[in-house]
Amino acid sequence: MRASKLLTLVLVVAFVLSACAQPTPPPAPAAKPAAAEPTKAPAAEPTKAPAAPAAGGELKIAILAPLSGPVPTFGVMTRDGALLAIEEWNAKGGVLGKKIVPVIEDSQCTPDPAVNAANKVIDQDKVHYIVGEVCSKASIPISEIANAKKVIQISPTSTNTDVTVTKDGKAKDYIFRACFIDPFQGTVGAKFAFENLKAKTAFIMLDQANDYVKGLAEAFEKSYTGLGGKVVGKESYTSKDTDFSAILAKVASVKPDVIYLPDYYNIVNLAAKQAKEKGITAPFMGGDGWDSSDLDLKAAAGGFYTNHYAADSKAPEAVAFQAAFLAKYKDDKGQGKVPDALAALAYDATGLLLTAIKNAGADDTDKVKAAMEAISYQGVSGKITFDKQHNPVKSATILKVTEKGFVFDSVVNP
């Protein structure tokens, strides 16, 4: 894959348009078409599990996504990618002869709302299948509930190892994901810093209470020091912090070659802006959590991040997906919305789950679990087969942040 001028152009347009909108997006869903989909199924029509394939009827799929809270672009894109897949499947007759009905809940990238949402869709709506969450710290508690209740969960984007694996290293039977995991993502980031950026020293900033951030920082540090790089500082903050000046003063004094900040875009925006104001010129690096149309490009320009998907992919599945997404979802100005990695992975996770249900031939989560384990699925984000811990083995893409948008840099295979 190579960076295309078209990608940059499309992204420039997308970012200029998003810059015209409010800097902090409203918590409410931004994409109207999806909001019109049914979100609540009547309690009077529970699906029974496990049931034999029946002609007609409905099959519910829950979409648990952070539509409000700290990272709403993640939720909106995830919901919209999943709904596009459901719409396409329904247009072709649904699955097992049933109409696929989405049940959407806002799980807020936060453990308590995520647990409430999982209990609600399982106990009240009687769903047998969950697509979500985005954030590892929300997906992990959901996985405990789903696995205990034999409900299949597939997280499109949660990269922390603990999502699919118990503390003693055993795969959770009913839990899967559509993305690579952080030990790989951290290694890719460390190699890129050391070999491509020739960074001999790194400073790590992390939120210890965020499973994703903590896991990715650990993976990066292990690989980076293994390669011969030196970590010259490691400082913690909390998700509530808005002033990073104390940490940045330390960064300024030790002058690292690179600053690794594997958090979500909302934190990156604050820290990178304050670093620029302090005159710090070392590039920031991070992971997939940077992937948002609300990343502050001016602040993060010069930085790099590891990701799942590049919008200029020319694979036929990706080209078809991009066209369908642009046609279905419009921004305030009526322009097609460019799908990001979250949209692509939610689309893949939903398509993969529905294919497994179809292959299983029944709405029976034991059969679907076996069909998932045996699947070979060509998605928009690459080919997916599962290893023993229910993780796909997939390549990572490195993107560079410029003031005009994200630019493809390279692909790293596992």
Residues that bind ligand PHE (CB under 6 A): 74, 134-136, 157-160, 212, 288-289, 291, 341-342
Q: Which of 259, 282, 281, 287 is nearest to 203 (CA)?
A: 259
Q: State the nearest-atom distance from the C-beta of 123 to ligand PHE, in Å.
A: 25
Q: State the nearest-atom distance from the C-beta of 73 to ligand PHE, in Å.
A: 9
Q: State the nearest-atom distance from the C-beta of 307 to ligand PHE, in Å.
A: 7
**Which residues, including other chains, have CB under 8 Å from residue 150's CB and lie 6 or more apart?**
49, 173, 174, 365, 366
Q: Is 290 exposed, middle or buried (0-12, 13-18, 19+ CB in 10 A)?
A: buried
How big is the chain, counted in residues? 414
Bridge partners for 98 per DSSP:
95
Instruction: Check: CB of residue 399 under 8 Å from CB of residue 412.
Output: no
Q: State the nearest-atom distance from the C-beta of 85 to ligand PHE, in Å.
A: 17
Q: State the nearest-atom distance from the C-beta of 171 to ligand PHE, in Å.
A: 18
Instruction: Check: CB of residue 282 under 8 Å from CB of residue 257.
Output: yes
Q: Is 29 exposed, middle or buried (0-12, 13-18, 19+ CB in 10 A)?
A: buried
What does 178-209 look like in DSSP terms, one character per residue? SS--HHHHHHHHHHIIIIIS---EEEEEEETT
Nearer to ligand PHE, 72 or 94 (CB): 72
Instruction: Check: CB of residue 209 under 8 Å from CB of residue 383.
Output: no
Nearer to ligand PHE, 14 or 100 (CB): 14
Q: State the nearest-atom distance from the C-beta of 97 to ligand PHE, in Å.
A: 34
Bridge partners for 236 per DSSP:
206
What distance in Å separates the CA atoms of residue 274 and residue 25, rounded to the nearest whole number?
Answer: 21
Return the SS3 of 321: helix
Nearer to ligand PHE, 94 or 289 (CB): 289
Nearer to ligand PHE, 95 or 135 (CB): 135
Nearer to ligand PHE, 205 or 251 (CB): 205
Nearer to ligand PHE, 184 or 224 (CB): 184
Q: State the nearest-atom distance from the C-beta of 125 to ligand PHE, in Å.
A: 25
Q: State the nearest-atom distance from the C-beta of 189 to ligand PHE, in Å.
A: 13
Nearer to ligand PHE, 159 or 293 (CB): 159
Nearer to ligand PHE, 154 or 341 (CB): 341
